[in-house]
A = this chain, B = another copy of it.
Amino acid sequence: MKVTIKEVAKEAGVSIATVSRVLNRKGGIKGETVDKVQMAIEKLHYHPDLIARTMIVKETKTVGLVVPKLSNEYWALLSELIQEELWDSGYSLVLCSTDRQIDKERAFMKMFVERQVDGIIYGGLPMNHFRSHEDYTHIERVKERNIPIISFDPNVPGIPCVVGDHLQGAFDAVEHLIRLGHQRIAYIGGPAVGVERELGYRKAFMMNGYPIDEKLMVIGPSESMDFGFAGMTELIASGEPFTAVFCGNDMIALGVMKAAYNAGLQLPEDLAIVGYDDINLAGLFKPMLTTVRQPMRDMSKSVVRELSQIMEDPSLIHVAKKYVFPMELVIRESCGMKKTEHHP
């Protein structure tokens, strides 16, 4: 049989209220009594029932996290960091991976409210995945219920967000390529990594007065290595000339590298590549990947800090602050050497 607070009380010869008090360190109790209770707890191997507690204090000390995919270093690392931060703040993590299925995302949200999670970190699909605003109601619904929610990376209007400045990051990456003398730069990415990177790409061209060749843009629904491989293979087959490619993320870049090797290209001599995210793998292979680093640690610390704040004062959920983090271009080998160089 499960041992409850009652047994402890009897064993210690006090009332259940007293036991509850020492459990919650309320103070105002004789040291002697505290000892008696603690002895009883030890003796009976008593663990308080968090579920019963929740019924009264109305907090589960649980937060839900939604990510699109776990078998991707970026999201795996994020989940790990968040779990750690959360644990340090006394929360457990209920993890849900949607595999990019919108209806799963909805089901998870429903589960979160039924389970009474104290807060939600939403690392789900970017809004451009949803056909209409109406598709986004599962988020609204949560907000209406005053469940603290914060978005990580997808920029969700109306709720607080911690996002990276991907327009800037992509801009810097492409600008770097342009400085290196490239003009025919391909882009392989798409909605799965968000539209900002494509916009940053376009901005760099616009700012430099270069035309964009839409034939060099491979936009697809995925963010995987396989997508990068397929996209690159197709691009090469098209015969369209290009000397560099900017990838929506590092996994795509890895796929692109493989396709380039397959086609007999020398890297970085024949082709410059830049990725995005700076996952661990990025620095591993030759040529080591030039990429855009996201300050993951800072960002995850930030989401849980902000979420905690909202959990403390739920009214804060109505001020949809945005925290945008700067991205950092990490120059390694995959773009080769500058073709021209001057010191001003």
For residue A311, CB closer than 8 A to chain B, the reply is no
Binds B, one of A50-58, A128-136, A171-179: A50-58
Query: How many residues in A have their beta carbons less than 8 Å from beta carbons of B?
Result: 48
Q: Which residues of A contact B (CB under 8 A)?
A: 45, 47-52, 54-55, 60, 62, 69-73, 76-77, 79-80, 83-84, 87, 92-97, 99, 104, 110-111, 113-116, 141, 225, 254-255, 258, 261, 280-281, 284-286
- Pick the contact of A116 from B51, B55, B62, B258 — CB < 8 Å? B51
Bound CA–CA A110/B47 (angstroms)? 8
CB distance from A107 to the nearest CB of B (A): 8
11 contacts between A and B (CB under 8 A): A50-B115, A51-B51, A51-B116, A55-B55, A69-B80, A72-B76, A73-B73, A93-B94, A94-B94, A254-B284, A261-B286
A85 CB → nearest B CB, Å: 12
B96 with A94: CB separation less than 8 A? no
- Tell which of B72, B77, B80, B96 touches A83, judged by Cβ atoms closer than 8 Å: B96
Given contacts A51-B116, A285-B285, 9 further A-B contacts (CB under 8 A): A47-B114, A52-B55, A70-B79, A83-B95, A93-B95, A95-B95, A254-B281, A258-B285, A281-B281
